[in-house]
Structure 1
Amino acid sequence: MYTNSSQNRSVAKGPIRFESEVALEAFLENSIRPRVRVSVEGFNPYRPGDEIKRELVNHFESCGDEFRVIVPTDPIVDRRAFVILVGHGAEEKALQINGSDIGDWKALVKVAPEEEEEEYLMASRYKQSLVNALLNDRKFRFGIAVMGYDTSLPADQVESVLRELFSSCGVITHVYISTRNRRANFYFSKEEGEALALGLNGSEVGGFRITTRRLATVRSNPPLSPGETRCKGFTIPAHMIEFAPEIGRKVMAFRRIKRTMKKVMAFKKMKSTLKKVSSFRLEKDSMTPLINALRCLRKKDRRRFLFSRKD
């Protein structure tokens, strides 16, 4: 559940600025370089991770301009290693390693986009549900940004002073104080409250003259429809930026829970398999005396013994 008062949350930084066209071109070139994620199998996942990583680095470092190797931390759940490569031709070079001998094992290399992983898909759906719930939350429909107050005050005092000022405007549904950005966001239940709060622009609060302006909200910046693009005139609603870190934390927690559940299921499956193997061994052991007795009989007597048994 989202809290009604948020303090000291980080917000998105402003646009990146470049001092020269060369720097801009370098940034754009770096941004558009192809990125590929491949999975690697065939090694013993119970070996030390450093050994596995060293072997993979030695074979894949020449495939891309940049690369990252991720070795399995829990072989019971996933025995694959992943190599993330950046650069033109990286995918083709990585796939050429498929079938190669790496030490005492043969590499099985496949392209493995993270977007196709079950865990990623589930986390994406969960994240989208959080985003949709936040976009449709009516308490963020009308809001203003406040600046110019005494920023030396603690966040809770700033909220208290400004609440007193704006309480006459209507029902306040949410307050966000950003000490870092030296501004406060106030949301109201009705458009009338927003208009009255904007009318308090220039008011004096504790010896400081404040400035108020309308916030970007879902009402003024409706989300894009599927397939729709908009280059100008769109601003991300302020509360979506405010709660982005919280959504990120919830998604990470969700992924950890799913990973744990997957591990538990793998343990249960392994336990069931071991139980079946153990049962088979016990059954085999119970037949050992009979098998030994049959071996002692002559072939003719053995056939007579087997076909004469009723049980």
Structure 2
Amino acid sequence: MDTYSSCKGSALKEPFNSEAAAKGKKKTSTRITVRISVEGFNPLRPEDEIKSELINHFESCGDIIRVDVPTDPFYDSRAFVILHGNGLKVREKALQLNGSDIGDWNALVKLAPEEEEEEYKAAVAYKKSLCADLANDKRFLFGIAVLGYDTSLPQDEVESILREHFSSCGEITHVYVDTLDKCTNIYFSKEEGEASALDLNGSKVGGFKITTMRVATVRSNRRSGPGTVGSCIPAHFLEFSRENTKKLEDYMTEWRAKARREKDSALRKHNTFKASKRARG
């Protein structure tokens, strides 16, 4: 995270209250620090623009101590605003801005206490590992997208027909029939297979004239990888997104259970130590 820092963090003293003093009551103001996360903006925009918008939008909530903007938006697109202000008002004011309009986007505002970051970081780390597995899968280095075939056919029949049609191009490593977008991605073990398949653009499959085009892969996006300006997410990342979301959910369920067990164990050890200390004393 890149940060913006403000020198507004010093606590302010309240005016002397003579009436409260006369009654012998001590009146104090509790100032708290609140960390919020903000989503909804385009994280690929210049950092200075994002920071400026967030500062202008949240400065009415309290003193802005720091603004962090995402440095790896492909994995974590949140920005963080750290506020300091009087009592619970700073928290309430910030949350009231949830859904508010900031130019051409709406702010999704949530409380983001530091103690919850450990769980979030665990999720991001596992997501990165899943993406790394996909990025390093050699089955998806060379591929084409096919459109124009008979989309009324069952999914398995479409795959069978297209496999046969492109079998002369080389070894086919994977076929994905997208029934929603009415498009099929076909991957080859070698670049020559991809090139040969592209040459079949305009050929006919079952009486239908098909269109072939190069599909987005890790190889074709090597220069401007995921999360950078001008990049295109590899098609197989999207294909396996639902499967990976389920893997992430299962992993985090286990992670939370393990974290609870460790916390309970630490608490029991602490209580045992305190009891032992009292017994010795």
In the alignment, what sits opposite 1:248? 245
| Structure-to-structure mapping, 1:139-158, within 5 angstroms | 139-158=139-158
Q: 1:249 offset after TM fit, Å? A: 2.5
Partner Cα separation in structure 2 for residue 119 and residue 258 of structure 1: 8
Partner Cα separation in structure 2 for residue 120 and residue 246 of structure 1: 20
Partner Cα separation in structure 2 for residue 245 and residue 136 of structure 1: 19
Relative to structure 1, the CA distance from residue 113 to residue 246 in structure 2 (aligned partners, 3 Å threshold; closer, same or farther) is: farther
State which structure, 1 or 2, has the greater radius of gyration over its C-alpha atoms: 1
Secondary structure class of the residue paired with 1:246? helix
Amino acid aligned to 1:217: T
Amino acid aligned to 1:257: E
In the alignment, what sits opposite 1:112? 113
8 A contact 2:147–2:212 mirrored in 1: yes
How many residues align structurally?
197
Amino acid aligned to 1:148: G
8 A contact 1:175–1:186 mirrored in 2: yes
8 A contact 1:149–1:209 mirrored in 2: yes
CA displacement, residues 238-278 of structure 1 (integer Å, 9 cap, x when unaligned): 12222233333322222211101011223334445566678
In the alignment, what sits opposite 1:201? 201
Partner Cα separation in structure 2 for residue 218 and residue 235 of structure 1: 9
8 A contact 1:37–1:113 mirrored in 2: no
CA displacement, residues 67-97 of structure 1 (integer Å, 9 cap, x when unaligned): 59xxxxxxxxxxxxxxxxx69xx99xx9xxx
In the alignment, what sits opposite 2:184? 184
| Structure-to-structure mapping, 1:130-145, within 5 angstroms | 130-145=130-145
Amino acid aligned to 1:237: P
8 A contact 2:218–2:225 mirrored in 1: no
Secondary structure class of the residue paired with 2:168? helix
- Most deviating of 270-279 and 260-269: 270-279
Q: Report the aligned-residue RMSD.
A: 3.9
> Tell me, which stretches of 5 or more residues in structure 1 are unaligned?
1-28, 39-55, 69-85, 95-110, 285-311
| Structure-to-structure mapping, 1:56-135, within 5 angstroms | 60-67=91-98, 112-113=113-114, 117-135=117-135
Which TM-score applies when normalising by structure 2?
0.57
Relative to structure 1, the CA distance from residue 246 to residue 210 in structure 2 (aligned partners, 3 Å threshold; closer, same or farther) is: same
Secondary structure class of the residue paired with 1:175? strand
Secondary structure class of the residue paired with 1:117? helix
Partner Cα separation in structure 1 for residue 200 and residue 141 of structure 2: 19
Q: 1:33 offset after TM fit, Å? A: 5.4
Partner Cα separation in structure 1 for residue 120 and residue 91 of structure 2: 24
8 A contact 1:36–1:113 mirrored in 2: no
Secondary structure class of the residue paired with 2:240? helix
Q: 1:140 offset after TM fit, Å? A: 0.8
8 A contact 1:37–1:112 mirrored in 2: no
Amino acid aligned to 1:253: D
In the alignment, what sits opposite 1:22? none
Partner Cα separation in structure 1 for residue 90 and residue 123 of structure 2: 32
Secondary structure class of the residue paired with 1:159? helix
8 A contact 1:61–1:67 mirrored in 2: no
> Tell me, which stretches of 5 or more residues in structure 2 are unaligned?
1-52, 59-78, 83-87, 100-106
In the alignment, what sits opposite 1:257? 254
Relative to structure 1, the CA distance from residue 219 to residue 160 in structure 2 (aligned partners, 3 Å threshold; closer, same or farther) is: same
CA displacement, residues 119-170 of structure 1 (integer Å, 9 cap, x when unaligned): 2222222211221221122111110000111111121111111111112211
Query: Does residue 234 of structure 2 align to residue 237 of structure 1?
Result: yes
CA displacement, residues 83-115 of structure 1 (integer Å, 9 cap, x when unaligned): xxx69xx99xx9xxxxxxxxxxxxxxxx7258x
Relative to structure 1, the CA distance from residue 248 to residue 33 in structure 2 (aligned partners, 3 Å threshold; closer, same or farther) is: farther
Relative to structure 1, the CA distance from residue 225 to residue 237 in structure 2 (aligned partners, 3 Å threshold; closer, same or farther) is: closer
Amino acid aligned to 2:249: M
> Equivalent of 2:263, from 266, 274, 277?
266
Partner Cα separation in structure 2 for residue 33 and residue 148 of structure 1: 48
More helix by share: 1
